[in-house]
Structure formats: C-alpha cells, structure tokens
A and B are shown apart, each in its own frame.
Chain A
C-alpha cells in the first residue's frame, strides 16, 4: 500500500495532523489527527510502498514491543488510514 498523493503531515502545537493540501486532494476537507507513533510511521513510509509488516517492523525497532502486538497495531493503523482515505492498497 501507499500513502495517497497530496497529503501532508503537519504539527499543530504538540499534535500531528494530516491535511489534504495537494491538487489531487483539493476536495478533501477533513483533517486527520495522528498520534505520535502513527506520525512516526507516516514519516518513515511516506512516498514508499509498504504493508502491515513494514509498519510492524518499524514499531518493533522504535518501541521495542513484541512482534505479535506490533503486527496487530500495524494492521489497525493501516485499516484506519485506508478508511480515512489517506492511504490505498
């Protein structure tokens, strides 16, 4: 999967948001809020192809959590991104 074109990660105070700023997302009128670990994943996979395993590996290397839990969290995040319309398979 990939992050769709035209989305930009920004910080507002200490919080992270994704906004549709590119021409491809000119009609996207929502702001998606990300927590710190989702923002970390976003920065790592932006512009690249990735899957749940990629995200899980990133979580393991950064937060030192068990692989099984990381994969479950990664699957949740991937589903959230797709449902929010900011990533696609």
Chain B
C-alpha cells in the first residue's frame, strides 16, 4: 500500500510517497508539519522506490563532501539530476533522480542502513532548497532563537559554537526559546523577513512548526574576548550567502538565492560577534541586536 503524506514547511507544501513500513517514529520530525491533502497542489513530490531505473545517461558534475554530508551530483543531457547522498565517512548512500525543475523525484534508500533517514532528510532538504530557490526562500545553515515574536539567527561554520551561543541565550536572555538548531528556512516578503522552524535541525531534535520576525543575523567567530561589530552590506552578503543551500554553478538557482540574500540583508541588520562561550557573550549580542 502506498502512503502519501503532505507537509508544509514555511508555507511551501510538498508530498512524500512510500510503500514500505518505516515504523511509527521514523518520520516523527515531520509530524508537526503534516497537512491535509487539500487542493493547493504542492511544490515537489518525493517517492521512495525499490529500484531506480537508469533512464538517462548521467555525467558527473562534482563530488561535494564535508562534515555535514557527502553529496555526488550528476546531470543528464536533458537536464535531469541524480544525487548520491551519504553520511560523512559512511560507504553507503542513497540515489535520487530529479527532473530539471525540481518537481518530481525518486529516491532509493540504502537497504537496512542506519543512515537511511539521514539520507531521506537530506533528499527532502535538497529538493526543498532548490525548488524554492526562485521563491525568495532560503534554506540556511544556522541556529535560531525565538524571543517573543522576534527571531535571531546565528551563523558560523560547523563547530564554531552556533548551538552553544543559542544555549547561552536560553540560559541568560529572558523569554528565549530554540526555534531551530541547524536548518531554518527564511522567507523574504515586502518589508520583512520571516524565519521558520523546519523538520530538519541537525543533531538537536527541535522540529517546531513556528515562525518569528527575523530581527538580526549574527556571524559567530571564536575569540579570546567578546566584541560585536555591525557589518556593511557587502560584509553581510559575504556571511549570509555561504550559509544558504545552493548549487552556485546552476545559474537559475544561484540567481534566485542571490536576489533573496540581497533583499534579506537590505532589511535585516547583520553583525560579526567575536566571542567566548560565556554569559557575557550572550549579554553583548542580546543588548546589541535585541532592541
């Protein structure tokens, strides 16, 4: 029997189809985002399949490995993509085929592998990021604090202390809650930017279907002191762009992301915080950006 689930993340809807029994808790991170089928249609559909037929001849575009995931990208002559996505350092991977418009995708997960839901999550994140690239929507690598109706986003390479800084806010800045700890979505509207929780949050199980008005973006850098600086427009661009999921060699995607980032940094102040992992760092960033 085929299961069809519809999810809505940051106002964009997608469909997940599969026939095998994943077990009750496997897709628990998606539960807060479940919506009825409705009439509105959806942005993309991912089907989990047992076999992925070789419909096209693919040429390798590149292999992109980091400590988050290992991703191989292939493209066919008619513009279809194939992605190989694996857990860093693991030899097994999933294979996903996607049409040129990122609307219809099939994935074959590695059988019985402990990282198969890691693979499934990354497939959905990738589809989400690229199918929304021209909808003023950014899938970002960041940790986000919600304070009242306001959102504050912390950026930094893996291991620089995004989560740590969020935790300092939770402990020391009254009214703070964690909205997402790894992969929030930001949407840019006329005159405002909204940050949303998602079903993807790295190693922290924080899957909140909530939103906040984005009031500040802070790039973190470990330092022997605490110091915060407002960034110029170009400096802001240079910190925000690399934090957004993109395939920058794909012109249409890169242009969509560029336009959204340009609008975002025109509205939301950006800062660089050199900091220690201490209360004073949270006090400094909060007193600067939370006005």
Contact = CB atoms under 8 A, between A and B. Distances in A.
Contact of B249 (A11, A13, A26, A29): A26
Interface in B229-270: 233-234, 237-238, 241-242, 248-249, 251, 254, 258, 262, 265-266
Interface of B: 61-62, 233-234, 237-238, 241-242, 248-249, 251, 254, 258, 262, 265-266
A47 B46 CA distance: 40
Interface in A1-60: 6, 8, 10-13, 15, 17, 19-23, 26, 29, 31, 33
B131 to A, nearest CB: 20
A10 B258 contact: yes
Contact of A17 (B61, B62, B237): B237
A29 B237 contact: no
B61 A31 contact: no
The 5 A-B residue pairs with the shortest CB-CB distance in the complex, in nearest-first order:
A23-B249, A21-B248, A12-B237, A13-B233, A21-B254
Contacts of B237: 12, 17, 31
A13 B262 contact: yes
A23 B62 contact: yes
Given A23-B61, A26-B62, A31-B238, A12 B249 contact: no
A11 B234 CA distance: 10
A31 B62 contact: no
A22 B266 contact: no
A21 B257 CA distance: 12
A20 B242 CA distance: 12
A17 B236 CA distance: 13
Contacts of B248: 19-21, 26
Contacts of B258: 10
B266 A13 contact: yes
Interface of A: 6, 8, 10-13, 15, 17, 19-23, 26, 29, 31, 33
Nearest to B258: A10
B234 A33 contact: yes
B233 A29 contact: no
Given A21-B248, A23-B249, A12 B62 contact: no
B249 A21 contact: yes
5 contacts: A6-B249, A10-B258, A11-B262, A12-B234, A26-B62
B260 to A, nearest CB: 12
Nearest to A6: B249
A17 B235 CA distance: 11
Contacts of A26: 62, 248-249
B28 to A, nearest CB: 36
Contacts of A11: 262
A23 to B, nearest CB: 4
Contacts of B238: 31
B189 to A, nearest CB: 19
